[in-house]
Every structure is written in C-alpha cells, then in structure tokens.
Structure 1
Amino acid sequence: MNAGPVVEDVLRVLLRHRRAPRGEDAPGPGAFDAQRAQIGAAVAAGRPIRLVLPAFPCKSPNPAKRSLQKSGSGCWGCEERWEHRSMARPRVTTKTKIFRIEIVLVDVEPTVRRVVEVPGEASLAVLHEVVQDAMGWTNSHLHEFEIDGVRYGLPDPDWDTGTLDEAKTKLFRVLAAGDDAGYVYDFGDNWHHVLVVDAVTIPEPGVRYPRCVEGQGACPPEDVGGVFGYSEFVDALADPDHAEHAERVEWWGSDRFDPHHFDLVATDRALERLAGASATARS
C-alpha cells in the first residue's frame, strides 16, 4: 500500500497533540522528521501504529476541561490513545449488500445529519472512518460503537475493558435493516451519534462505495466543549457584544462559522479514500 498518506495522517495527530500554549512556538512541519521513516516502515509492513498521547495545556472552551487543567488534574479530554491499523477495503460485487445508514449527531441544533451507503462487508473499523469523514471530524480522539449492548472499538492491550475489536466485526453480521447503533466520539466532549440502517439494497452499477448521498448541518469544531460548548460557541461568535466573543474568535481564528453549512460534493469526495475494488460494471 502507499504509506505516504497514512504517515502524514499519523504525523497530523502527533502535531495536534503537541500544540504549544499561546505565546510559544508551535511544533513546525519538521518536528517529527525522525519518526517519519519509522512510521512509513511500520505502515508498509502492515504493523499497527499505537500512540499514547500526553495531555497538553487545554484550550477547549469547555469550562469543565479548563477547570481540571487549572486544578492540576490535567485535561481528561486530551490524554488518550490513538491507533492506526491497515484496514481491508471491502470489495463490491453484484452480490454485495449496500447498507444505507443515517447518522445523526444527538442533541445538537441546528440538526447535523448524514446519509451514507456502505458495503455490508465493511468492518466496523471502516464504518468508523466513514462516520469521521462524512461528519467532518478529524479522527483525533477515541471512539466506541454500542450495538445491542455490546461495545466495539480499539481494544486496549493493557486492560480488559470488554470492548470487542471493531476491525474484526463485519457490518452485515451485527446490523440489519431497521437496526440502530450508538457511536460516541471524543470521551471528553462526548459526541453521541445515532446510526440507523434505513435500508439494505444492491449496489448500483458503476457507483463507488462508500458514498454520502444526503446531509445537513455543519460539523462542530473539535474540542469545542461538547453540546453545551458548541451552543455557546455559535452564540458567542455570532454576537459581537457577547461576553466571550473575543475569546471565541481568537480560539477559532475567525468570526465566521455557519452551523447550517453542508457541502455534499466535498463530503462525498472525502469518502473516496475508503473505496474498495468494484466488480460492478455500468450498464
């Protein structure tokens, strides 16, 4: 496989978790040159890449996170594990079942939802990537699925948490038409999603899967502070007289954010990297 994009993805996560406090120089593009070759070799060999990311000074608007940082307890949303594992892309044939799944971000206004179509042979690890790319997240935090009371995610080799390996679980084996699943992203901001299988169909000739076919609403910024923090962020950014307007503008880097924005073409294009080989021909 081409290791280049994966190497850059891993380095992006490292850089994200090495951000410097304001007033100090942030790590530059060459900050991890020494690791680049090692990461590339691991990817080329198919070995998993597991990172334990240290806490950094918390910039989140979430008051709970800031108070934990000030108290010396650290920011529980910033110290976490992250792992890249090579995943097989599902091959689409005429016998493949296509799962049409609606993804809704719970308790967020305005509504943030996506409708995606995913091959049933995809693993839950691939479905996780689909959710990340379709929603607009950056895959920089932990996540977990819950289906029929069973949790799926990245098992911790050091602790038996009862979490089953998402990479070893196929979508069609745990979900069917009409079923739903829970998906939590970022155990600090605690973004809850509900995934509902609207239908199970056959693939359309010449169509690339997975794909996004519908959606609305902008994805909240990472580390904004969850549902409450996002609502405050939107209000503060839109109102120059808001007590936290200047602080939020500095944090975001702009006074512009449209919570209603959704670009279907760009969202669907983001899923291209997850497409497997296709044996279906256009009629």
Structure 2
Amino acid sequence: MNSSDVYWVYNPLWHVLGNIGPNANKRRRDRAPSPAAISLIRDVLLSEKEPPTTKASAPMFFDELDTRAQPDIRPVPDDTQGFRIRLDLRYTKPPVWRRLVLPGDITLDRLHDVIQAAMGWEDCHLHRFRSDADLRSPAFITTWDVSQGDTGVWENEVRLDQIVSAVGDTIGYEYDFGDCWDHLLRVEEVLPEPPAEIELVTGRRACPPEDCGGVGGHDELAAWVESGHADSHLPPVFENAQQALEWLPDGWHPAAFDIEHARGLPDDLNNA
C-alpha cells in the first residue's frame, strides 16, 4: 500500500473525525462534514469488515456498507394503546431528560416534532430514528432522505406501536449529525388506552444550545455558566466572556428547564 493509497483511503476519515471529534473547532460550522459522510464513516468504524487497504478495493467496501439492513416493524395492532416514555439525551451528566405520554398511533415524523419541542431543540439539523438504542441498529429514512433518492422504511409511514410494545423497549433518535446528539426513548409504562392529548409530564435540565459542539462543548459551557462566568472556566473556543454571552441563548442555564413553555409546544400538535 503506497502513500497515495493511504491518503486516498484514510484522508476522508481523518477529515470527518477532525470535525466531529474532541479536537474539533466547534465554531467552524461551515466545515462540518455532510450527514452522509458521517454516517458512512461511522459505519466504517463499527463494521466488522476489514477496512480497504488500496484505492482499488475501497469502492467495493463502501458499496457493501451502503447495503444497510432495514428496520423490522410490527403490523399495526388491532387496539391502540398509550405509552409513558422517558427521553434521555445520552452521555449528559447530570442527565438531560424528559418524560412523555404518547399515543401508540403517533407516526415517527410527528414524534420527531414532539421530541424537538419537549427537548427545546430548534429543528435546524437533520435527524433519524433507529429501531433500537444500539448505534448499529437499522435506521428509518426521513423526507430529506427520500428527496435525495434514498430508499428504505419511511418514518412518515411508521407508528410508534409498530416499534415498541412492552416496558423496556427502546428507540434511538439522533439529531444534528455534526454535534451528534443521541437520544434514547425507553418505554416505562404501557397504558391500556391512548392519551387524549400528547403530554409532557416532567423533565430535568436545559436543552444544550444548538451548535455548541456536542456533549463536550455543552459540558464546557455548563461549567462556565455554573461557575458564575469565571474566566478560569471560559470555554477555549471563545476569546472572552462577552463573546460567549452574546453567543449563548438569552438566560440559558444548564440546570433550568421551563416545563410550562415546553408543554405548550407539543400541544400545538394535538390541534394539527
């Protein structure tokens, strides 16, 4: 394997990891890799196949990875139930989480809207649902994927109760493939009847600011705010406290969660 082959095969991987890894420049959003690139690189890292060693062998390797398994879905049940679900933003400490009561017949595209509202995201990045919590589990395609010519199981046509049915069942939800926010939805209780309305029951801690650099960037911002904006805790991505305060959402504090505001957002879906 010569030096040009090494560069051709591994330089794309290095570029992506340079943008999403721990040493990423969190303010250079214009250089973020595409969702397709991140997905492909993640599949390379998680694959049990031997990686390509030459430029000639790489296309076949990537073609095999692109033939992804499709998620398994159950038939639509005869009776619609409800679910009490805990939604966790994974790897945050202390955890950022919400508790929701949802009807089993809610489709994944509408569930996406509920998650965005309940968490406090701004829905300005791509997303996808996985059939389980495992990062390697099959994913559903979104409307954006369809517009790009991708094929698969479309989230708009899949109900929640076609994926989960019992306490402990899980679904994965990814948002912003640059910051890589991974959420876990876990069934806490199966209700005999669906709720009349979607309900946000409770939750803890604020949603991270958009484009803050993932869990690492959030942790730095949280430590700085909770220190009373001490210079010693200023995230290195900012030149000074004034710049950081101007960038942060007004009044953002990691421990604060405005449940009344968040409750009003999913209610809009009940009237749609």
Q: TM-score, normalised by structure 1?
A: 0.61
Q: Which residue does 1:128 correspond to in 2? A: 112
Residue identity opposite 1:251 in structure 2: W
Higher strand proportion, which one? Answer: 1
Q: Does 2:213 correspond to 1:225?
A: yes
Residue identity opposite 1:64 in structure 2: N
Q: Which residue does 1:213 correspond to in 2? A: 201
The alignment partner of 1:150 has SS state of coil
Q: Deviations over 1:152-187 (max 9, x none)?
A: 141333343x55211010111111122001111000
Q: Which residue does 1:235 correspond to in 2? A: 223
Which residue, 154, 166, 170 being the options, matches 1:165? 154
Residue pair 2:35, 2:177 contacting (<8 A) in 1 also: no
C-alpha displacement at 1:260, in angstroms? 1.3
Q: Give the alignment of 1:101-250 within 5 angstroms.
A: 101-148=85-132, 149-154=137-142, 155-160=145-150, 163-177=152-166, 178-203=168-193, 208-237=196-225, 238-242=228-232, 243=234, 244=238, 245-250=241-246
* Aligned mates of 1:131, 1:190 — CA distance in 2: 15
Residue pair 1:77, 1:189 contacting (<8 A) in 2 also: no
Alpha carbons of structure 1 residues 195 and 68: separation in structure 2 relative to 1, 3 Å: closer
Q: Which residue does 2:33 correspond to in 1? A: 76
Cα RMSD, aligned residues only: 2.9
* Aligned mates of 2:249, 2:119 — CA distance in 1: 21
Residue identity opposite 2:153 in structure 1: L
C-alpha displacement at 1:65, in angstroms? 4.3
* Aligned mates of 2:97, 2:192 — CA distance in 1: 23
Q: Which residue does 1:64 correspond to in 2? A: 25
The alignment partner of 1:271 has SS state of helix
* Aligned mates of 1:203, 1:176 — CA distance in 2: 13
C-alpha displacement at 1:253, in angstroms? 5.9
The alignment partner of 1:156 has SS state of helix
Q: Which residue does 2:266 correspond to in 1? A: 271
Residue pair 2:26, 2:211 contacting (<8 A) in 1 also: no
Q: Deviations over 1:121-153 (max 9, x none)?
A: 110111111111111111111001111422114
Residue pair 2:80, 2:105 contacting (<8 A) in 1 also: yes
Higher helix proportion, which one? Answer: 2
* Aligned mates of 2:155, 2:229 — CA distance in 1: 43
* Aligned mates of 2:249, 2:83 — CA distance in 1: 38
Alpha carbons of structure 1 residues 166 and 222: separation in structure 2 relative to 1, 3 Å: same
* Aligned mates of 2:259, 2:249 — CA distance in 1: 25
C-alpha displacement at 1:78, in angstroms? 9.9
Q: TM-score, normalised by structure 2?
A: 0.64
C-alpha displacement at 1:75, in angstroms? 3.1
Residue identity opposite 1:269 in structure 2: G
Residue pair 2:26, 2:212 contacting (<8 A) in 1 also: no
Taking only the aligned residue pairs, the percentage that are identical comes to 34
Q: Structure 2 regions of 5+ residues with no counterpart? A: 1-22, 38-78
Q: Structure 1 regions of 5+ residues with no counterpart? A: 1-61, 81-94, 278-283
